[in-house]
Chain A
Amino acid sequence: AQSVTQLDSHVSVSEGTPVLLRCNYSSSYSPSLFWYVQHPNKGLQLLLKYTSAATLVKGINGFEAEFKKSETSFHLTKPSAHMSDAAEYFCVVTRGGMRFGAGTRLTVKP
């Protein structure tokens, strides 16, 4: 069985400060992991994906995620938040279909 847990339902940061969105996964084999972003009233867009080629994955808009097998984590980070980063973020593990975490809503304060 596989599942993904997003540890925070809501994260609030100030513009220009770092962002950390946490994701833990469980999988009985080497997982495929993704982060998707959903802006208000929009569909989902791929931020980045873990391909097993490198544990540190770079995505769009300055986001990164690090795969840590020992901690079964795939946390999403960004050094400096921008107002346009305010959105819902989903960590996803896949087998057959995609299994989504519950989501983390990121708020960015001016």
Chain B
Amino acid sequence: NAGVTQTPKFQVLKTGQSMTLQCAQDMNHEYMSWYRQDPGMGLRLIHYSVGAGITDQGEVPNGYNVSRSTTEDFPLRLLSAAPSQTSVYFCASSYSIPSIMNTEAFFGQGTRLTVV
């Protein structure tokens, strides 16, 4: 059972480049989300999805797009990378919205992104 798989683990981009961070889960979870982790700021929610075809913005959505065409996959797209997007990105999934039934979230190992 792989859980939540993120790829790549490391990436260096030039300013203005685009890329997609991949996230896949094999637990049939409805809820998936993306976070960025910056020193001294904890994790901040970028976007989340409560099921296939449904996405919504979190705390820091600007500069990022998401889509949810299947239950398993929730890719995060950077359309035009900026140095301010240098961060560690985590994808998470859970059976339902975390505030319902106090559902545990499962996290991927993270993607360390540097934009130069």
Contacts and interface: CB of A to CB of B under 8 A. Distances in A.
Contacts of B40: 9, 102-103
A94 interface: yes
Contact of A97 (B41, B45, B110): B45
Contacts of B48: 96-97
Closest 10 CB pairs of A and B: A100-B42, A43-B107, A97-B45, A94-B98, A94-B99, A100-B43, A44-B107, A102-B42, A32-B99, A46-B104
Contacts of B62: none
Q: Say which size band chain A's interface belongs to.
A: 20 to 34
Give the dominant DSSP class at B's interface. Answer: loop
19 contacts: A32-B99, A34-B104, A42-B109, A43-B107, A43-B108, A43-B110, A44-B90, A44-B92, A94-B98, A96-B58, A96-B99, A98-B33, A98-B92, A100-B35, A100-B44, A101-B42, A102-B40, A102-B41, A103-B42
B102 A97 contact: no
B3 to A, nearest CB: 9
B109 A98 contact: no
Interface of A: 6, 9, 32, 34, 42-46, 49-51, 90, 94-103
Contacts of B43: 44, 90, 98, 100
Interface string B9-33: 0000000000000000000000001
B42 A49 contact: no
Q: Say which size band chain B's interface belongs to.
A: 20 to 34
Give the dominant DSSP class at A's interface. Answer: strand
Contacts of A9: 40
A107 to B, nearest CB: 16
Interface in B73-116: 90, 92, 97-99, 102, 104-105, 107-110
